[in-house]
Structure 1
Amino acid sequence: MSSRFVRNSLFGTIAGVSTTLGSFASSLIVARLLGVEATGAVAYVVWVVGVATTLTSLGLPFTLARYLPEMLGRGETQQAMRLAAYLFRPFLLATALPAIGFASYAGWLIVQHSDALAQFNPQTPLHDPMICGLVGLTCLAQALAEYARSYLRGMHAFSRVAKITSISMAAQLVALAIGSSLFGVRGAVGGYLCASLLPLLVLHEIWREPGKAAPDLKARIVTYARFRWASEILGFFIWSRIEVFFLQVFWGIQSIGLFTVGLTLANLAIQGPLMLTWGLLPHFSEQRGQNDVEAMRRVYATGTRLMAFLVFPACLGLAAVMPAVLTLLYGQAFAGAIPAATILVCAASISAVATVGTNLMWAMERSDVDFYVGLVGAVLSIVGGLLVIGPLGPMGAAYSRAATQLVAVGVSSWFLVRRLHFEIPIASLARLFAAAVLCAITARLCLDLVGGILGLLVAIGAGAATYLIAVRLLAALPPDDIARLRSVSRMMPSGLARAIDPAMRLILG
């Protein structure tokens, strides 16, 4: 792997750590300060923002991250910046629509109900004019911030992404704590808005450039962006929180609070390893521009094994100790979320490993595959929402989400093997999964035997040791992969590198 790819991945990891810990801490702040019902109300509003920004993105942020590295690989730096400016104008117009729509709706609510600002019902947050105004502003700010970050990633400016993201998440936590304490749900929504303000400063670099793109490139971009946009919309049914809609319809706001807590923990388990994939799309795109397919095959196989090495124990281990972890973090009021959270975190392990292949397909301009996979997933999500979530509530949402994601991963993997002729390292994945199962069994036994916080600490340590020993005994990772892990660890801060090195020696023997 190139040094730039490793560096980009490390800076991507820093940005990812900031995002993951910030999102996790945000959910804790809201849950602890506002309770289950208000947590559901905030999660519902955040979901609405996600829907609006997805519908108006035009697929352009992903398109930017896909084509800028290819142009940089050919030495076309100025043309890359002009492409970013060329795509920004239509993106700005599209993303302004939700802000205008929600602002107009807020005004209508005030006109129709003179006391609309004085009354707030957490069961119907979008009936509040102030919430609607904040939602409109958040939609616009989040969309523009994502475009700015995609521009920086496409230009290989991952260090700036890491810095901006870290500061933004810190600002969100402060604003969220103050806002939730003083203004409840309204203040919490305003806190989420704060995280999107700093990246907007990057947009002046794009705006000052004259927008331009070569005719042949325009044709490629239109095709890619069209499928990418449709894939994002359909993918929202699979990977985002479409279950929130059905829970709101059938079970109410409180069920959303329980479900989103479980989903937050599932995302927390996979986010650490996923951070390492931030540099994959630019890296694959650059190799694609150089027509180096063999190098893409090597990176895909290695990336998939290393992702599984990190994700499987994190997810299965967390599932094993979920009863202790969830109540310790969120309190006994959220204990009803434990069964659903356990299912979600196990299913997340499979979908996370598949992200390496997803980045590969994006780099090979097969965004059409995402569209068709998303179409299948959308149908399954709607069917699951009507037939499973309705009668079973949060547990049904977990079952529906897990089944839909596993089907989507299966279809994508089939295309990767049969159509693109890339080989999935099945044998290594099976050995790594078996080692992770042993890790989970050990952790749960320790938790049951010791109990309490001490039991949780013992479970984590014993589970990790069991996993590393099992990986060595099963020869789950080839020596080349372990060597790559060691080379990456040497590039980390000295204290972290010293902590990781014993684990590497335990695997190597």
Structure 2
Amino acid sequence: MSGVDTAASRQTIVRNTFWYGVVTAIGLVAGLLMSVVLARGLGPARMGDYSYLLWLMRTITAVATLGYALATVRYTAEALAQDDRPRAGALLRLFIRLQATTTAIVAVLLAPAVWLLAPLDFRWPLLVFLASLFPSTLEAIYAHGAYGAQRYDLTTRVSTIKMALQFLATTMAVALGGDILSIVVAGVFGTAISCMLQRQRALALYPERSAPLPPAVLGELRAYLLPLSIVALLDTVVWDRSEVLFLRLYATSEQIAFYSVAFGLASRAAVLPQVVVGALLPALAALHGRGDQAEFRHVYREAIRGVALIGAPMAAVLAAVAPGLVTLLYGEEYRSVALLLAPLLIVSLVGVMRQVAWSALRAVGDRRWALHSTWISAVLNVASAALLIPWLGVWGAVIANACAQLLASVLSFLAVAYRHGSTFPMLAVLRTAAAGLIAFATVSAMMTNHGPAHVVTAGAVSLAVFVAAAMTLGALTPGDWDLIVGLVRRVPAWLRVVSFATIVVLVVAGLYGPVLSDLIGVWTTNPYYSYGFVVPLFSAWASWDARDSLRGVRPAWSWLGLGLAGAGLALLATGDATGSLTMRALSLPAVLAGALMLVIGPGRFTALLFPVLFLAFMAPLPADLIPAMSHPLQGLAAWFTAHALPVVGIPAALDGFSVRIPGYVLDVNESCNGLRFLLAMIVIGAALAWSTRTGSLRRFGIVALAVVVALVANLIRVAGTGFIAYHYGAAAASGAAHVVWGKVVYLTMLVPFALGVIALRRGRRAV
């Protein structure tokens, strides 16, 4: 095989891995949201019933699907790699006929059994599911036909539509108080539409007329399909939580729900590492078809290493933050899930590595080793579940699944090493595991609090620690960075910006929702901060005003941005732990600044620097700072009044914070410190200073003018109160009249402030 072919093959793998990663990421988010909606909407008891029903449906699907989908990928990819398009088309249509026939047989045989034997609350959901087997199984054939043609981009779009429809329909069913039947119907709706779309795209990739298959090919197909189908069925026993059957017999519905949610979270954590595996089968089959064994072995080892690099930090982070994460997503009643998550995460990661070995075995048509490893592990799984679950309950299910998964993985790795000389990259995996353990220890030490801020902060820090440890240990190489950069560059710039911005918005909304709620409470009840509502509105307007500077932005890596975001999250976590609303609010500008630097780059961020920094005015001052600032301001007001009144002929004597005049004692208490007006004027001054578009000195002058005007206004207000009390009596200097006098003074003092701003804005050259 030439170097050009090798480079083209690797480019194809990278391209397909990217598209498979896109649909996988979408599926990860959709599946997680779906599980949250179902768990919260149904409650643990009904969620346990639904989990059992879901296991039944998946098992029936495995029986109906057999090994047709995997065989479709392998044989169509092989035929297309040999440039035999007529044979590829004939193979696809053969698998469609086989799948339709098998599905019909399964549905016809099971329908009477379901009607007669199924519990009443499961009967109609199962019958509806049996009717939907046709679009479900045929969709798999069409999608895998596109995989065989190396067109993962086509299936990505259809899968996205399917998941969106299923999520929306399921959410609506739960919101309307629907039962399990309505949830099943919602899933069928999305599957039926997806099947039609997948069919249209898959058939367009293959010739309409195809040559008949030679008898030798049909014979090989029969010999390959039988053990492959057995392996697929037995693999379902190990991989798809068959322990639920024994939990149904010996445990409660709540325990089934806890195990299923934990298993689902672990499986979803393994979804991103599975991206590495997703494009392997057609690629390895094509390499085998061309006889390039050296490249075959290279891809196999790198795939296992890639799975470890992606999966280890995820497992470490999720295991450490599990209590807070589970409570945040599913509620306090599902907290028991957190204890089950750590071992299941490790098992899932090993299981994904095993899928790399199985892809290698399936790509070359190896049946014996895959069959042996699968039936041995399946028997172990069922036997250990039957023995341990009655004794240990849900922990028996975890142990049974772990034993079966680990045994199947070891046997699969040995099979690839024995048959194809492709050894397991033990040293690379151990280095990655060590980096993961370091990250886990770091997060565990940080998790003194399980609030949302701590979960996100700990996760971000742990990922940084993992990267540093992996680079130090040699698990992460420069070549890996080049691959990551290559994958990212394949994403259109606009999609990168939109995706990253969406993630930032969701994370910020989730983290700062409680903070904003607390801030609004302060703004509405504390007169010192009644200006708070104006701050985010002005910041939003200032950001909109800078929109022309942000056109054509591209995401740009920035260590400063990463550091700012990390520091902001640390400040948020500290504020959350200490109960400081000031620290929590001040963390928002830091997090936004760091995130924006990563989205639009440090250079263009300067256009948004002020709008982001302006958000710091949302934060209230620390509680101890108000009295500390108030006393000097009270003293200044009392001193000025005591010296100003004699100038207009009113005798006055200073006594601490009181001013004695004939017939009246003017107490300059905390409400007379002028701090409310001073804080508001600083905010107004900062906003006007930015909007003047003049030089730095002029802008500083506007802020300084605002401070001076606020201080002078309060001095005039307090001294004027003494003047009114002396001439018109104590009643005129208190109550509503006192409030009106204060408002008049403050409004009047805005006039010289406005004139000063106009003067400073004249001549807009930089100073």
The letter for the 1-side match of 2:191 is S
* Offset of residue 168 of structure 1: 0.1
Deviations 1:220-245 (A, max 9, x none): 22122111100011111211111111
Check if 1:158 corresponds to 2:156: no
Contact 1:446 1:458 in 2 (8 A): no
Distance 1:169 1:20, change over 3 A: same
Q: Find the aligned partners of 2:335 and 2:301 in 1 and give their Cα distance.
A: 39
* Offset of residue 412 of structure 1: 0.9
Task: Say which of 12, 27, 32 aligns to 2:35.
Answer: 27
Check if 1:200 corresponds to 2:195: yes
The letter for the 2-side match of 1:178 is M
Contact 2:438 2:465 in 1 (8 A): yes
**1:85 aligned residue:** 93
Q: How does 1:23-422 map to 2 (within 5 A)?
A: 23-105=31-113, 127-182=121-176, 183-201=178-196, 202-203=198-199, 212-422=212-422
The letter for the 2-side match of 1:198 is I
Deviations 1:461-500 (A, max 9, x none): 1111111110111111343333333322322344469467
Deviations 1:359-407 (A, max 9, x none): 1111111133221111111111111111111222222111111121011
The letter for the 2-side match of 1:199 is S
**1:13 aligned residue:** 21
* Offset of residue 190 of structure 1: 1.4
Helix, strand or coil at the partner of 2:80: helix
Q: Find the aligned partners of 2:106 and 2:188 in 1 and give their Cα distance.
A: 14
**1:121 aligned residue:** none
* Higher RCO (C-alpha under 8 Å, 6+ residues apart): 1
* Offset of residue 108 of structure 1: 5.1
Q: Find the aligned partners of 1:388 and 1:333 in 2 and give their Cα distance.
A: 25
Deviations 1:230-279 (A, max 9, x none): 00111112111111111111114322111110011101211012123221
The letter for the 2-side match of 1:197 is A
The letter for the 2-side match of 1:39 is M
Helix, strand or coil at the partner of 2:380: helix
* Offset of residue 285 of structure 1: 0.7
The letter for the 2-side match of 1:467 is F
Contact 2:86 2:210 in 1 (8 A): no
Bigger shift: residues 374-383 or 180-189 = 180-189
Distance 1:166 1:357, change over 3 A: same
Q: Find the aligned partners of 1:264 and 1:245 in 2 and give their Cα distance.
A: 16
Deviations 1:132-169 (A, max 9, x none): 32121233332122112111111222111101100000
Deviations 1:300-355 (A, max 9, x none): 12222122111111112211111111111111111122222222112212222332
Q: Find the aligned partners of 1:223 and 1:418 in 2 and give their Cα distance.
A: 22
Distance 1:100 1:405, change over 3 A: same
Contact 1:68 1:80 in 2 (8 A): yes
Q: Find the aligned partners of 2:276 and 2:269 in 1 and give their Cα distance.
A: 14
Distance 1:107 1:376, change over 3 A: closer
Distance 1:126 1:483, change over 3 A: farther
Helix, strand or coil at the partner of 1:196: helix
The letter for the 1-side match of 2:259 is F
Contact 1:85 1:212 in 2 (8 A): no
* Offset of residue 49 of structure 1: 1.3
Helix, strand or coil at the partner of 1:321: helix
Distance 1:371 1:265, change over 3 A: same
**1:4 aligned residue:** 12
Helix, strand or coil at the partner of 2:241: coil
Helix, strand or coil at the partner of 2:476: coil
Bigger shift: residues 146-155 or 477-486 = 477-486
> TM-score, normalised to structure 1's length?
0.90
Q: Find the aligned partners of 2:253 and 2:138 in 1 and give their Cα distance.
A: 29
Q: Find the aligned partners of 2:231 and 2:423 in 1 and give their Cα distance.
A: 24
The letter for the 2-side match of 1:476 is A
Helix, strand or coil at the partner of 2:423: coil
> TM-score, normalised to structure 2's length?
0.61
Distance 1:195 1:212, change over 3 A: farther
Q: Find the aligned partners of 2:238 and 2:492 in 1 and give their Cα distance.
A: 37
The letter for the 1-side match of 2:324 is A
The letter for the 2-side match of 1:286 is A
**2:581 aligned residue:** none
Q: Find the aligned partners of 2:20 and 2:242 in 1 and give their Cα distance.
A: 27
Q: Percent identity?
A: 22
Q: Find the aligned partners of 1:282 and 1:502 in 2 and give their Cα distance.
A: 38
**2:578 aligned residue:** none
* Offset of residue 102 of structure 1: 4.7
Q: How does 1:463-482 map to 2 (within 5 A)?
A: 463-482=462-481
Contact 1:261 1:341 in 2 (8 A): no
Contact 1:227 1:367 in 2 (8 A): yes
Q: Find the aligned partners of 2:394 and 2:133 in 1 and give their Cα distance.
A: 27
Q: Find the aligned partners of 2:424 and 2:19 in 1 and give their Cα distance.
A: 27
* Offset of residue 453 of structure 1: 1.6
Contact 1:179 1:190 in 2 (8 A): no
**CA-based RMSD:** 2.4
The count of aligned residue pairs is 490
The letter for the 2-side match of 1:453 is P
* Offset of residue 428 of structure 1: 1.2
Contact 2:66 2:232 in 1 (8 A): no
Bigger shift: residues 239-248 or 16-25 = 16-25
Q: Find the aligned partners of 1:364 and 1:79 in 2 and give their Cα distance.
A: 18
Distance 1:192 1:126, change over 3 A: farther
